[in-house]
Structure 1
Amino acid sequence: MQALAHYPDGHADGVDLSPYALERAAEAATERGLADRLTLHERDARSYVPDGDYDLVLCVGSTHAFGGFGGTLDLAGRHVNPDGVLMVGEGFWQVPPTPEALAALGAKPDDHTDLAGLVAAAERAGWTPVYAHVSDSAEWDDYEWSWVGSLTEWALDNPGHPDSAGTLTAAREHRDQWLRGYRNTLGFVTFVLRRI
C-alpha cells in the first residue's frame, strides 16, 4: 500500500492464503483510498499466475511461502519485468546460532546463512542487491513486541472467547523464545534486487 500511495498511477495485486489477512488488507486499502487500485487473491503464492509481469514484486518476511530465499528469488522473481525490482526481506544469522536460539526457532544451523551468504545466494540466482536495509535491534524489538503485544491485548480484551487462553499462551511462548533464544542472533535484511 505504501508503493501504491507513492505511485498514484500504479496498480497492485496482493496474494495470501489467509482470508483474515486479505480482509484486513481490503479494509486498510479502503481507509487509505487505494481499494480501486488493489486486487486481492486468496491462493497459494507459489501457484499465482498474474496477467502480466510487474515493475515491483515484494516478499518481505514471507519467503516461507515460496520455500525459502532461493525459492522466492525463482518463483516470485519470475513475475518481475526485465528491468524491474524484486524486494525480499529475509532472516540471517547475525552471529553463529546458540543451541538456545536453534531450539527457540526450531531451526538447524544451515536453515539460515549470514548476510554475505544471502548476497552470494542472490547473485548465484541471477540477482544483485542495489540496496539493502538491515533492521537494527530496536526495529527487531519493535516488531517482536508488536507481534506479541497484539496477541496479548486481544486475549486480555476478550477473556470470554474460547481462543483467549490459548492465544495468551502462544504470545508468552513466542516472547520467551525470542527473549531467551534468538534475540540478537537472528537478523533481518530487506534487499532491493535487480537482475544481473
Structure 2
Amino acid sequence: MAAPRTPAPLAPRQPPAEKIIMGVDPGTQILGFALIEVRGQRVDVLTYDVLNLKSLGTNHAVKLKRIFSRMLELIDEYLPDELAIEAPFFGVNVQSMLKLGRAQGVVIAACLSRDIPFVEYAPTKVKQAVTGSGSADKEQVARMLRQTLALPPVEEAPKFLDATDALAVALCHHYQQGNNAKAGTKSWDKFLADNPARALATTAKPARPGAKTPR
C-alpha cells in the first residue's frame, strides 16, 4: 500500500490591494504614465510606459484627443483608485505652459469622468519625496527608483525617463499618505556613497536646480 503523500504547503495569501495609484507626467510630445498597487508597506509596479505623441504632428487637438482616449484605456484596464499628476513646470515659456496645462487638464478630465479623485504635485515635491533632493534630475530619479522598486524591464530604458518620472509621481503620492514615515531619508547622497562609481558620471554633468527636459 502506497504511503500517503504529504500535501504541498499552501502559498501564503497576499493581503488584498489597498489601492491602485495612477501617476502621470503630462506632456504634448511624450507623456509618461505609471500604475502601482499598494498593499500595506508593499508597493508593486503594475506598468510604466510613455505615450509618444510626436507622430501626430502639430495638431494640438488631435494630441489632446489621443491623451484622453489612452487615459480611459488605462483606467478601464487597471481600475485605479486615485490619480497623482505632476504640475506644469514654471520655468518654460508661456506657450509651452499652456500646452502642458491642457494636457494635464485632459488627463484629469479622463479620471473625473470615471469618478477618480486627483492630487497635483510640484516637480520639486516629487523629487524630494523620492530622492531626498528637490533638484535631482531625471536620471537620478530613475536610478533611485530602480533601487527602491523592482521595476519590470522596459526596452530602451534611457528613453523612458518620462515613464520613471510618472512612477515617481505615483510613489510620491503613496509617501504623502503616511505609508512611508521615512520618505526621502534614502537620499541621493546616500545612493552615491553606496555606489561610488556613479559619482564621477554624476559630477561631470551637474544638474541645474529645477531643470526639466523641454517637451
Indicate the structure with greater strand content. Answer: 1
Larger radius of gyration: 2
TM-score normalized with structure 1 length = 0.34
TM-score normalized with structure 2 length = 0.31
